[in-house]
Amino acid sequence: MKRVAWMVLLMLAVGSAAAQVAVSPFKSPHVTFTDANGVALAGGCVFTYTGGTSTPLATYTDYTGGTANSNPVLLDATGSANIWFGPYTYKLAIWSNGGTNCASGALQWTVDQVPGNVYNNATISGGAWTGGTITGAAVSGGTITGAAIANSTVDSTPIGQTTPASGSFTSVASALDAMTFSATPIFPAGAYGYFTMTLTNNVTSSSITGGTNGQQATWNICQNGTGQLVNGITTGFTFAWPSSFTNPPVINPTLNACTVVQAYYNGGYWYAIATTPQVVYGNFDAVPYSATPIFPAASYSNFSLTLTGAVTSSTITGGAIGQIVTIDVCQNGTGGNTFLWPTNFLNAPPVSISASSCTGVAAVYNGTNWLTVSNSSATTTTPLTGNLDQIPFTSTPIYSAAGYSAFAMTLSGNVTSSSIAGGTTGQLISVALTQGSSTTTAPSGSLTSSTLTTGGNLPGTTTYYAKCAYLYGLVESLPSSEGSQLTGSGASNSITWNCPAGGVTVTGYKFYIGTGTGAENYFFTTSSSSYIQIGIPSTGTPGIPLTGSTYSVVWPSNLINPPIMTTGIGATTGVIAVYNGTNWVAVGTTGSGQTGVTCAGGNCYRQNSDGSYDEWGTTPTFGGATGGSVSMTFPHAFTNVGSIVVVFSPNSCDGGTTGAYCAGNPGGSANNVYACGISAISITAPTVFYTSNNTVTSGSSCSWRASGY
């Protein structure tokens, strides 16, 4: 007995000391236990647990494993018992006799991790099996040499030079799951390592279940041959990858195309390690015209579009990082159609508006924007130079700076609105607008007149001058030839002016009246071709007749400092402007257009487009009755001193024989033009003066005009 106990202890000690090698305890079903003094534990107890725990684990009475021992196992008078282990690892606790189940006994010793019968329906790990026969066993991670494997399950992919005589492989890496289409498929990676599915509709969501750290799996997702219509375009179905797939590719939308993806599992997410190319090459899409076209880059890489109207917006959808697309935008046989590129299409060229011309572009996708890498724009210079757009007259012209740098238009009516389209920062454009022949014919011949000696307030023996014009709504014609009339001798004269009658489209008449030839400074508007003048001209509205075509122009709202239109048939007003990215700023203008008339105290003025002013009126300041001077103070600073001229017109002149004369009016001529001096007292509120030894009468006897300052 001591020999047996000693061998058991020796066996345990050797197992403890040699923990680095595979060990096994001495196998004897009839075991004798002793205390520390080698005395048999008669009536002692052996408690058995699952290895490493305090959970009771049964042992058995014989090799059949059909009858379990009591737990604790009660030892006989020799301290022995029959104990057979199951296919488990045990922990043993040995107690001396005392009370029921050794309740009052003493713990003698414990031993843990005692292997049970590992050779029966167990797993062998890390061992070498040579020359044996394995039947009905699971072999994991071992090396098997020269052994025949029959009716076994092998769950390790490489089998060392061994072919099973029978049985099946169940490695998930080789298991194929040919899945039926579902809009919400579930890929069971715990049972399969290869998945295939053909799309017959869109997959709105998907998921992956199972999977082992380091496991690799393959997906083969294919389009069917029918696809679906999206915005009138046939394309494949969409596929939503599982949320645990961190970097999946876009599913190829080409009909009958397949997308193959290999991925590995890290315990939380699947990472793609290989995919088939997803960038779409070689397929062409002739996009039908639309004011808002869509270019589906997920299905095509080459696009063409023929413009039959304006494109107000466009978009490009889909696309994979690194994908290159080409877009060719062409005008129809008429041309002139504008095109707006997608907002995420950067540095795209302006599209040519010439008839039948095309503008092409190639761009690469960076995941957010499409970056232009080449283009075939309509011009080779930027900013655009040398190309003129001769615009047919329209009341709402559009100056297309994307295709032209110079614009010209002859006016045959008023321009009510205009705009500038396109343009590159720093680009220069020119716009030249020419007054065309008036479509409102002036009255033919001179107006006639007759004097009434009563019924008015006109002074006697005074000559008045007049012209008349037709009104067509807000449009005014050129004036008639000038007529004149000398009043009678009385003090209550009136004059009847008769304008040649106009056609049925004439809506009214304007009569311009003054006291000197060519000096009609005030007008009266009537609905009749006859007008009875009962008061002096200054009782009317200040203004002068038109001198030519007077079509008005509304410049683009983002053109800063535009010029004032020049009047007169054939007169041209031009502007050169530079684009700052937001507005077009005029850097040069030409023309001598005029602004509206401003009047105060009987005197009036208007500003010209070059900054100079014209003024006229009846109230200059006179310096004296004889040998004095005449002067006028102006409300504006001089801008061009050398060009100032002043016209003095006597209100009562009879050829120099009698009557009043204006200042410096030698010889009594009816009109005189003088170059005048400038008072240096105040340049910002200057005074024009003329000194003469001739007769100077009161201001009420003369009228005047000044221009060019």
The phi-psi region of residue 113 (left if phi > 0; otherwise alpha if psi is between -120 and 50; otherwise beta) is left
Q: Are 689 and 676 in contact (CB under 8 A)?
A: yes
Strands (E), 225-286: 228-230, 233-235, 258-265, 270-275, 284-286
> Is the bond preceding 342 in cis, omega lying within 30 degrees of 0?
no
State in Å, rounded, how far the first CA of the chain is from the last one: 141
3-state secondary structure of 84: strand
Question: What is the CA angle 498-504-509, rounded to 5?
Answer: 35
Question: DSSP states of 630-697 as a string?
Answer: EEEE-SS--S-GGG-EEEEEESSB-TTSSB---TT-GGG-S-EEE--EE-TT-SSS-EEEEE-SSB--
Joined tokens for residue 340: 């707006």
Distances (CA, A) of 405 to 163, 308, 351, 423: 82, 24, 14, 9
What span, in angstroms and rounded, lies between the C-alpha atoms of 500 and 522?
20
With CA atoms as reference, report the closest residue to 353 among 336, 375, 340, 328: 336
Provide, rounded to the nearest whole percent, the portion of the chain with pLDDT above 70.
67
Sequence-distant (6+) residues with CB within 8 A of 403 are 350, 351, 352, 353, 354, 378, 379, 384, 387, 389, 422
pLDDT for the residue 342: 94
Phi, psi of 699 (to 5 degrees): -60, -25
Encode pLDDT of 131-162 as tens digits: 555 655 555 555 555 555 555 444 444 444 34
pLDDT for the residue 572: 81
What span, in angstroms and rounded, lies between the C-alpha atoms of 149 and 169?
12
Its sign, for the CA torsion 669, 694, 674, 545, is: negative
With a cut of 60, say whether residue 390 has pLDDT above it.
yes
Residues written for the chain:
709
With a cut of 90, say whether residue 187 has pLDDT above it.
yes
Listed ranges 503-512, 605-614, 627-636; the one with the highest mean pLDDT: 503-512
pLDDT for the residue 620: 55
Average pLDDT over residues 511-521: 86
With a cut of 60, say whether residue 666 has pLDDT above it.
no
Q: Are 164 and 144 in contact (CB under 8 A)?
A: no
Name residue, tokens 């007003």: 573
pLDDT for the residue 299: 78
Q: Are 146 and 130 in contact (CB under 8 A)?
A: yes
Q: Are 152 and 139 in contact (CB under 8 A)?
A: yes
| Stretch (H or E) spanning 345 | strand 345-346
> Is the bond preceding 383 in cis, omega lying within 30 degrees of 0?
yes
Average pLDDT over residues 250-261: 83
Question: DSSP states of 451-491 as a string?
Answer: EESSSS-BPSS-EEEEEEEEEETTEEPPP-B-EEEE--SSS
Q: Are 172 and 191 in contact (CB under 8 A)?
A: yes
What span, in angstroms and rounded, lies between the C-alpha atoms of 314 and 146?
72
Q: pLDDT band at residue 692, thresholds of 50, 70 and 90?
A: very low
Residues paired with 647 in a beta bridge: 673, 705
Joined tokens for residue 77: 């008078």
Sequence-distant (6+) residues with CB within 8 A of 635 are 605, 685
Comparing 33 with 542, the larger pLDDT belongs to 33
Encode pLDDT of 330-366 as tens digits: 999 888 899 999 999 988 888 888 888 888 888 888 8
3-state secondary structure of 140: strand
pLDDT for the residue 630: 53
What span, in angstroms and rounded, lies between the C-alpha atoms of 434 and 588?
17
Judged by average pLDDT, the poorest of 192-201, 534-543, 604-613, 690-699 is: 690-699
With a cut of 50, say whether residue 94 has pLDDT above it.
yes
Taking the model in full, what pTM does it have?
0.30
Judged by average pLDDT, the poorest of 261-270, 286-295, 423-432, 687-696 is: 687-696
Q: Are 114 and 128 in contact (CB under 8 A)?
A: no
Q: pLDDT band at residue 178, thresholds of 50, 70 and 90?
A: very high
Distances (CA, A) of 15 to 11, 36, 53, 110, 115: 6, 19, 20, 15, 12
Its sign, for the CA torsion 694, 699, 701, 702, is: positive
Side-chain-facing half-sphere of 509: CA atoms under 13 Å: 23
Position 85: which residue type? Answer: F
What span, in angstroms and rounded, lies between the C-alpha atoms of 656 and 635?
33
Question: DSSP states of 271-306 as a string?
Answer: EEEEE---S--S-EEEPPP-SS-EEETTT-SEEEEE
Phi, psi of 121 (to 5 degrees): 55, 40
